[in-house]
Structure 1
Amino acid sequence: MKMFDAGDARIHYRVDGPAEGAPVVFANSLGTDMRLWDPILPLLPEGLRIIRWDKRGHGLSSVPPAPYAMGALIRDCERLLDHLQVRDCLFVGLSIGGMIAQGLAVKRLDLIRAMVLSNTAAKIGNPQLWDERIAAVDQGGIESLADAVMDRWFSRDFHRTPELELWRNMLTQQADDGYAGCSAAISGTDFYTPTSGLRLPTLAIAGSEDGSTPPDLVRETADLIPGSKFHLIRRAGHLPCVEQPQEFARVLSDFLRDTGHI
């Protein structure tokens, strides 16, 4: 657990694995912290250099006043990876993390040699939708959205497990300003044109019961990048790495090998 000064935000990050290992960078979703990836990490090949961070306003990172711009989130990651002297990583981004992946690949292709776009899109929702969510957080905090978010995040089967409470608690314990700030960043982002210009190995992953970024939306984004692959994980919602960690880890491991990253 370390802190990095990114300028107007201090970023909590963690690096696991040998310094000489192939770098794999994980970017988590809105309303979660880096623990999102805990279920899959023990299932990945050994010897990787695994880099995770809490985006601004989330986890143990600082909480600048909202709103945030997507460019600031991308810059935080860019500066962190430069600080860690990371080049040619495989970048795994889920939801807003996948938007950060797209933006960073457009800006700094020297940092990313391949990417996994999980449960994300070039554009998610519309300004009216995000304005309504930001207003709800301003008025009643994240708690006012929590049940609806759980419905979008998880499948019906997962709702019957006691683990649902863990993820609901993670969501509600994020900072209201952080959630609202990142919501504004998503609202202002449309990567259809820049992402269509990317040329790098890409794997898109979707959950069959995802209420936030449905499979067709994820596939549409994947189709912007020539040669990309698409994988649908059934019986999973917006966070398949939580609901189906074995399958998620297997597909990711196969991609690591197919791209020659390991």
Structure 2
Amino acid sequence: MPYAAVNDTQLFYRIDGAQNSTAPWLILSNSLGSDVSMWTPQLAEFSKHFRVLRYDTRGHGHSDVPPGPYTIEQLTGDVIGLMDHLGIARAHFAGVSMGGLTGVGLGARYANRIDRLVLCNTAAKIGSPEVWVPRAAKARGEGMLALADAVLPRWYTADFMARNPLVIAQARDVFVHTDNEGYASNCDAINAADLRGEARSITAPTLVISGTHDLAATPAQGRALAESVPGARYVELDASHISNVELADRFTKTVADFLQEAR
């Protein structure tokens, strides 16, 4: 399996679409409690047009779990370090939830490395200490199984969950096998990150996607993020938090069209 030594951490990554060596790079960043597999619905289409780089955020999937708490500086620095490791000068970036928060930081702090930015089901400030402190404590003290039944119903609408039991089973499997400390340390990073003052400095063409039924990063928060980024576009999908899975075809087309349009 491919790993990159980045910031004293072994990050697991995958590359698809590499047969087109002149295609632009697209980096995909996972949500809290998931891994590279969450982007499977987009791979076939995205790989036609881009060299697609997925990675497991530190503390997730096959990546290392260094001591926490983590910070948004580490999460953004890991992406830049991975780009440096692979010789990627510039790339498009798309992230869901925690991955989207990472994207806000990248767009604000590393403008010279980001071409276009897609911020999905996220905000410049996600949640509050009342959410993240007890969740991190529960992950550390009781484990991921204790969180699964509360968290997963916030990812998808009830109707989608009823119609797609295999999708939910796969997501649950990844979630419960996420490292307890890795999950908690990323909760710490999200809790401490407030990028509302930085979002207005983003210069990359930006698309913000929200889910109408998202309780974790609400449409109001998505609209506020889009309004704070100069020239950003806002799209709302009839989905909950993991919109790239719940409304996969619409999500894929929306993102692909945005990334390929002329500037």
Q: Assess same fold via TM > 0.5.
A: yes
TM-score w.r.t. the length of structure 1 is: 0.95
Deviations 1:70-107 (A, max 9, x none): 11111111100111122331110111111111111222
How many residue pairs get matched?
Answer: 259
Query: Following superposition of structure 1 onto structure 2, how do residues 25-64 of structure 1 map, counting pairs within 5 Å?
Result: 25-44=27-46, 46-64=48-66
The aligned residue for residue 179 of structure 1 is 183
Matched, 1:101 2:108: no
Deviations 1:4-41 (A, max 9, x none): 01132110011112332111110110000011100111
Contact in 1 for aligned 2:125/2:193 (Cα 8 Å): yes
* CA-CA distance at 1:128 after TM superposition: 2.6
Contact in 2 for aligned 1:241/1:248 (Cα 8 Å): yes
Alpha-carbon separation, structure 1, partners of 2:44 and 2:253 = 12
**Pick aligned residue for 2:211 from 201, 207, 210:** 207
**Pick aligned residue for 1:240 from 243, 258, 261:** 243
Contact in 2 for aligned 1:45/1:253 (Cα 8 Å): no
Structure 2: gaps of 5 or more residues: none
Secondary structure class of the residue paired with 1:120: coil
Secondary structure class of the residue paired with 2:115: strand
Deviations 1:230-257 (A, max 9, x none): 11111x1111111111001110111022
Query: Following superposition of structure 1 onto structure 2, how do residues 79-228 of structure 1 map, counting pairs within 5 Å?
Result: 79-160=81-162, 161-162=164-165, 163-228=167-232
**Cα 1:64–1:45 shift into 2, 3 Å:** closer
Normalized per residue, the structure richer in helix is 2
* CA-CA distance at 1:259 after TM superposition: 4.4
Contact in 2 for aligned 1:158/1:164 (Cα 8 Å): no
The aligned residue for residue 234 of structure 2 is 230
**Cα 1:112–1:65 shift into 2, 3 Å:** same
Contact in 1 for aligned 2:244/2:251 (Cα 8 Å): yes
Alpha-carbon separation, structure 1, partners of 2:82 and 2:45 = 26
Amino acid at match of 1:23: W
TM-score w.r.t. the length of structure 2 is: 0.95
Alpha-carbon separation, structure 2, partners of 1:40 and 1:157 = 22
The aligned residue for residue 250 of structure 1 is 253
Structure 1: gaps of 5 or more residues: none
Name the Cα RMSD after superposition. 1.3
**Cα 1:89–1:259 shift into 2, 3 Å:** farther
